[in-house]
Amino acid sequence: MLIKFESPACGSFMTTESTAKMLINLIGKSDHLEGIICSRDISNAIRLLKYVIDDKNGKINYEPVNEVAAKARIFPFLQMLIKAEQKDEFVMWKLI
């Protein structure tokens, strides 16, 4: 199954259910088939993802999924969150 992430702040992207579940779990949410991050919660989600991609030490605090680096899977979601924070918007996802 595919999950589509959307925000009025930028373009959307799609990913597999397993990757979406990983991304959503990393920000402390459990509703991986459909959900929303309100604008007031986005800065915390960004902080959590940046912790996982600990660039200071060059260390990633998460295991790869299907041999693709976690950083590569996190990047589009992190960029969407940053743009949503800049424009005071939300991010939502849904099963397609």
Per-domain boundaries in the chain: 2-95
Considering only residues 55 and 29, tell me which one the structure prediction assigns the higher pLDDT.
Answer: 29
- pLDDT of 81 strictly over 90: yes
Mean model confidence pLDDT for the chain:
87
What is the average per-residue pLDDT within 9-20?
94
Take residue 41 and report the two structure tokens written for it: 């919660």
At 79, the amino acid letter reads Q
Tally the C-alpha atoms within 13 A of residue 57's C-alpha that lie toward its C-beta. 8
Residue type for position 80: M
Instruction: Give the chain's count of helices (H) and strands (E).
Output: 3, 6
**Are the C-beta atoms of residues 28 and 53 closer than 8 Å to each other?**
no
Inter-residue contact 4 to 12 (CB < 8 Å) = yes
The residue written with tokens 């920000």 in the block is: 27
5 vs 66, higher pLDDT: 5
Q: What is the mean pLDDT of residues 32-43?
A: 94
| Chain segment 40-66, per-residue pLDDT in tens | 999 999 999 988 877 555 555 555 555
